[in-house]
């Protein structure tokens, strides 16, 4: 459940940094073209690209091309679009609320551009949106979806979905901004149709309808009914716009959904929403988080008496979700604790708090954890039956997924006939795309 969840304490830790505050996986569990798999079927490979990753992490859209990930992905979810207090999709340059500069105003030089050409001062579209457009041109078949909400920006979803009139206006605003591409004017940037063709659909990342999310996020008992109606409204308007444009393929509509059965039942009428959604991305991480007082697994494939990927898949299938519409979430980061006492391999032991890390205490990118593993200072431990791994140096523990874990998980996807894999987030992978390669090979049965 990556943004659902369990421990609110981890949110507090992560919220110390804007760089991770919006990550769909900020809390614990309660609370190319399609590539064929080994069986000949195709699997979705959905990666989240973070708007803010272009700053501190200096991860640009062009890096997806340079590290080979773009040719392996089927979908990029752009994180995130925000919902205003008035219940509309919006953008602008508002600290903590919107970043039009990163989205479409920031000029890129030739070295950081997908097409190798520097942006000019007067082009209507620059920034991440223009680079995504260039990436799609280079990799036909790759789809880009705007992901709305996330942990920090689900604040006003419940209000936007409250009535038929509010739902209609909300959906119209999102289609106008992202699908039609009518961006606010920002100097020479933006304008009517400036971002047309960048986005191929919408990903709903409301965390969570009918149950608690971030501290300022509104939720109501009627959210479950209203979310179902909101999904229908998005489907209806997206299809109508596609027909008006004589578009050959429909705009896609997806959602990020939780692990905890209580959260599923509080907010999701599974059979009904699955009729209108192309697929859902299952929370497959943050089963336990670094704000908790004991170390634990955050993304196990199997875990008796605890949250797990297998348990999440079963929970959604029991409620009527077809296997081929379930896309398994995988973490490209780890949850970590320090001051671990009790000896042994460190798992299940008391701690003094979240481990120090690059961007936010208790949250570290895989590329940094790989360096710890390669340094020899940490021992790699594995629960082969449970399908998870962790690093421990006697004091500090990090639970994470490495290529070996991902091979087991992609094997599970193929065996269970699931729809594919999703990962948060692409900027946490190594410079050569090690995790993306492991997922791609695993889904191909290699």
Segment 238-271, tens digit of pLDDT: 999 999 999 989 999 999 999 999 999 999 999 9
Q: What is the DSSP annotation of 335-388?
A: EEEES--S-TTSTT-B-SEEPP-SSBTTEEEHHHHHHHHHHTSSEEEEETTTTE
Percentage of the chain with pLDDT > 70? 91
In this structure, what DSSP letter does residue 294 have? B
Active site annotation includes 364: no
Task: Tell me if 390 sits within 8 A of 355, measured CB to CB.
Answer: no
Question: Per the residue annotation, which of 134, 207, 233, 292 is the catalytic one?
Answer: 207
What does 418-437 look like in DSSP terms, one character per residue? --EEEEE-GGGS-TT-HHHH
Contact between 264 and 258 (Cβ < 8 Å) = yes
Per-residue model confidence (pLDDT) at position 9: 36
* Domains parsed from the chain with CATH numbers: 8-332+401-443 (3.20.20.80)
Predicted TM-score (pTM) of this structure: 0.93
Mean pLDDT for the chain overall: 93
CA distance 331 to 422: 9
Residue 370 pLDDT greater than 60, yes or no: yes
Going by their DSSP bridges, the two strands 42-50 and 35-36 should be labelled as antiparallel
Q: For residue range 129-172, what is the model confidence (pLDDT) as tens digits?
A: 999 999 999 999 999 999 999 999 999 999 999 999 999 999 99
Report residue 27's pLDDT band, with 50, 70 and 90 as the boundaries: low
């Amino acid at each position: 459940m990556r943004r659902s969840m369990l421990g609110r304490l981890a949110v507090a830790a992560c919220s110390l940094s804007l760089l991770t505050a919006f990550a769909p996986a900020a809390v614990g569990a309660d609370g190319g073209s399609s590539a064929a798999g080994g069986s000949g079927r195709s699997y979705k490979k959905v990666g989240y690209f973070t708007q803010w990753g272009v700053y501190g992490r200096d991860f640009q859209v062009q890096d997806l091309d340079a590290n080979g990930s773009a040719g392996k992905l089927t979908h990029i979810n752009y994180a995130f679009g925000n919902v205003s207090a008035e219940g509309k999709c919006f953008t602008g340059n508002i600290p903590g609320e919107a970043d039009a500069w990163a989205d479409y105003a920031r000029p890129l030089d030739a070295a950081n551009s997908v097409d190798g050409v520097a942006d000019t001062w007067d082009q209507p579209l620059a920034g991440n949106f223009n680079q995504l457009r260039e990436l799609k041109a280079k990799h036909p078949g790759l789809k880009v979806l705007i992901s709305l909400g996330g942990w920090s920006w689900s604040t006003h979803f419940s209000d936007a979905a409250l009535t038929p009139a509010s739902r209609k206006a909300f959906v119209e605003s999102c289609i106008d901004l992202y699908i039609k591409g009518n961006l606010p004017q920002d100097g020479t940037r933006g304008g009517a149709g400036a971002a047309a063709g960048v986005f191929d659909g919408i990903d709903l990342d409301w965390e969570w309808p009918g149950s608690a999310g971030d501290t300022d996020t509104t939720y109501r008992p009627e959210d479950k009914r209203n979310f179902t109606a909101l999904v229908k409204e998005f489907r209806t308007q997206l299809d109508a716009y596609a027909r008006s444009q004589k578009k050959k393929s429909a705009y896609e509509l997806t959602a990020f959904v939780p692990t905890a059965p209580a959260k599923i039942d509080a907010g999701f009428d599974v059979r009904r929403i699955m009729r209108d959604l192309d697929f859902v991305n299952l929370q497959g991480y943050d089963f336990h988080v670094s704000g908790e007082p004991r170390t634990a697994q955050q993304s196990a494939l199997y875990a008796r008496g605890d949250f797990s990927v297998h348990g999440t898949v079963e929970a959604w299938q029991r409620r009527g979700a077809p296997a081929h519409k379930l896309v398994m979430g995988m973490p490209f980061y780890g949850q970590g604790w320090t001051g671990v006492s009790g000896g042994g391999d460190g798992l299940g032991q008391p701690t003094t708090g979240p481990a120090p890390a690059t961007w936010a205490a208790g949250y570290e990118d895989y590329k940094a954890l790989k360096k710890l593993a390669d340094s020899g200072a940490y021992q790699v431990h594995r629960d082969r039956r449970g399908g998870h791994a962790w690093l421990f140096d006697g004091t500090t523990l990090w639970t994470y997924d490495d290529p070996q874990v991902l091979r087991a998980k992609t094997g599970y996807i193929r065996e269970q006939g699931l729809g594919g894999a999703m990962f948060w987030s692409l900027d946490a992978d190594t410079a050569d795309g090690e995790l993306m390669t492991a997922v791609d090979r695993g889904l191909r049965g290699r």
